Structures are given as C-alpha cells and as structure tokens.
Amino acid sequence: MSVSAEFQKALVDLLRADAGVSALVHGAVYDEIPKSRPDLCISIGPSDYHFLDLQCSNLRLQTVQVDIYNRDGRRLVDTRRTVDAVADAVRAATITLPTPYALNNIRVGICRVFHEADGRASRGVVQVEAEIEEI
C-alpha cells in the first residue's frame, strides 16, 4: 500500500464530495488532467515528502499540489473562487487514511492564481501539506 496514493485518493474524494468545490467545477476533479477536459477543472499535481526521523514515531511530511485549470484566462475571478473553495474544503477537512496510516495534521501552505504563458488560460495552485504517521 502506498501512503502517497492513499493521500491523493483522499484529497480527490474530499474535493469531489465538497458542495462548494463541486458546484464551481461541476464535479470535474481528476487524479490526472484528462486530454479532453472542461474549461474549469481540478487535478492533482506534483507532490513531495520527507521523513522526520523521530525515535517514537515514523512520520512523514507530505506536500501535494492541487491544480485548478481555467481555459478562460480573462476571468481570473473564477479561478480565484475555485482556489478559495479548495482551500476552504481542505482547511475544514477531517480525513481518515486506511490502517496503518494516520493523518495527524493537514493544512494549506500557499495559494496562487496566475495567467498561463499563452495569455488565454489561467491556473490556480493550492499547496496541501500533511503530517502522516505510520502506526
């Protein structure tokens, strides 16, 4: 079992189930961005982690990037609304991971909204940080 894969699944499930997020993207939350996608959607981006070597626990600090894609780059406000909804959903979340993992803490690190290089699309990024322990 991969704790990284389980955490990603939990994030996707959380965002799909959140009424505010779902209303904005009409349920378009993906593990990976599909080739054919709606104008406004969410996917899971890069991640990284490192271990905290503690004598009493096996703890990792995991960071996952949640990407918000908007093909209508002229309307940054839609991307901002979606970034805010994702951040709110994560901050209010109670996530349970399958045994042998425990999510000790989850938080939003940074949120960004910017125009893509083509000038026609925009993107939002929500950095999700979690402390995950193997019990």
Question: What does the pLDDT read at residue 104?
Answer: 92
Contact 62, 5 (CB under 8 A): no
- Domain boundaries of the chain, sorted by first residue: 3-134
> Rounded CA gap, 44 and 31, in Å?
5
* CATH number, domain 3-134, options 3.40.190.10, 3.40.50.2300, 1.10.1060.10, 3.30.2000.30: 3.30.2000.30
- The model's pLDDT over 77-94, given as tens digits with 9 standing for 90+, comes to 999 999 999 999 999 999
Cβ 77 vs Cβ 20: under 8 Å: no
Residue of 83 and 38 predicted with greater confidence: 83
Distance separating alpha carbons of residues 102 and 100, to the nearest angstrom: 7
pLDDT of 75 reads 77
